[in-house]
Structure formats: structure tokens, C-alpha cells
């Protein structure tokens, strides 16, 4: 009886382990010549995401078709769990998004701030991750960089 309980507990631990849980898959559209897009994809994969990348020469069409306005735009656009992910959004914020499931359209890090994932370098700058509502309005989801250590 004790052996069966031990085996049952062990099986429960193994199969409920987050390591074995299926990793979320992001579909990422990017320019074929953009190195920082590839660095961001590496960042996502190092945090457990699976990534399907597609090179596109018409990134503006991807953005406009999905309601991503110019002021929220960056170099690449991803999709996961019914949300868009625009630019160099940290993987931890995407994990939080998928965990909390807020009623928004997606997350954005506009432009390409130095120090964001995929844009590492000297002199990192503070930047905000914006939550973009379905109405197109934005609010700060989180802040990162110097002065915003987590």
C-alpha cells in the first residue's frame, strides 16, 4: 500500500511538473535582416517559449492588419494566446500576460530601447511595457531598466 502511494505521488509530481508542461508557442513575424529580432527570439526560447518565426518584407501590413498603431510599433510582431506582442517585450511579462489573461489586445515595447531583451548593450535606458486595450488605448503594464530593478 505504501509503495502504491509513493508511486502515485511520484507520478503526480512528474506529470504535473511545469518542466513537462507544453511551452506556449509564439508566432513571430520579423524582417529577414534584423539581428535584434533573432536575439529576442533567443530570449523567449531561453524562458521556455517555443517560437515559430516567419520572415516578412511587409511588416507594416502585419501590424496594420492587426490594429497595431505606429506609436506602439517596433521591429517585430508576435502572437500568442490571442494577444499580440509588439517589440522587445520581456518573456516574464508575456508569461504574466498568459497567466493573468487581462481583457486587452496585447503588449508593446515601442521603438527599440537599449537594454530591452534582444537590445542588450551599454547604457541601458528605462522603458515601459504598454498594455494596449482593444479600444486602442494604452496604459503602463510594467517598467524596466535603470531605476526599475525587479
Residue 41 makes CB contacts below 8 A (sequence gap 6+) with: 28, 30, 51, 53, 118
Domains in the chain and their CATH numbers?
23-144 (3.40.30)
Backbone torsions φ then ψ of 82, nearest 5 degrees: 85, 5
Cα 3 to Cα 7, 13, 14: the distances in Å are: 6, 15, 16
Q: Which three cell numbers stand for residue 53?
A: 518565426
Once rounded to an integer, what is the mean pLDDT over residues 95-102?
Answer: 97
Q: Tell me: the pLDDT tens digits for 9-49?
A: 433 343 444 444 567 899 999 998 888 999 999 999 999 99
Question: pLDDT: is 105 or 7 the higher one?
Answer: 105
Closest of 77, 35, 82 to residue 58, by C-alpha: 77
What's the pLDDT at 34? 86
pLDDT at 10: 38
- Whether this model's pTM surpasses 0.85: no
Query: What is the model's pLDDT at position 14?
Result: 38
- pLDDT number for residue 12: 39
pLDDT tens per residue across span 53-93 = 999 999 999 999 999 999 999 999 999 999 999 999 999 99
The confidence score (pLDDT) of residue 2 equals: 47
pLDDT band of 148, cuts 50, 70, 90: confident
Amino acid at each position: 500500500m505504501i509503495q502504491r502511494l509513493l508511486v502515485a505521488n511520484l507520478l503526480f509530481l512528474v506529470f504535473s511538473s511545469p518542466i513537462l508542461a507544453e511551452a506556449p508557442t509564439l508566432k513571430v513575424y520579423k524582417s529577414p535582416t534584423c539581428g535584434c529580432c533573432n536575439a529576442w527570439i533567443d530570449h523567449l526560447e531561453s524562458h521556455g517559449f517555443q517560437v515559430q518565426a516567419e520572415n516578412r518584407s511587409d511588416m507594416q501590413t502585419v501590424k496594420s492588419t492587426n490594429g497595431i498603431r505606429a506609436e506602439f510599433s517596433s521591429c517585430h510582431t508576435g502572437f500568442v494566446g490571442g494577444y499580440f506582442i509588439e517589440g522587445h517585450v520581456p518573456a516574464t511579462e508575456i508569461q504574466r500576460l498568459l497567466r493573468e489573461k487581462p481583457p486587452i489586445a496585447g503588449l508593446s515595447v515601442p521603438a527599440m530601447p537599449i537594454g530591452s531583451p534582444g537590445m542588450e548593450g551599454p547604457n541601458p535606458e528605462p522603458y515601459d511595457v504598454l498594455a494596449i486595450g482593444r479600444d486602442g488605448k494604452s496604459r503602463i503594464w510594467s517598467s524596466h531598466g535603470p531605476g526599475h530593478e525587479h
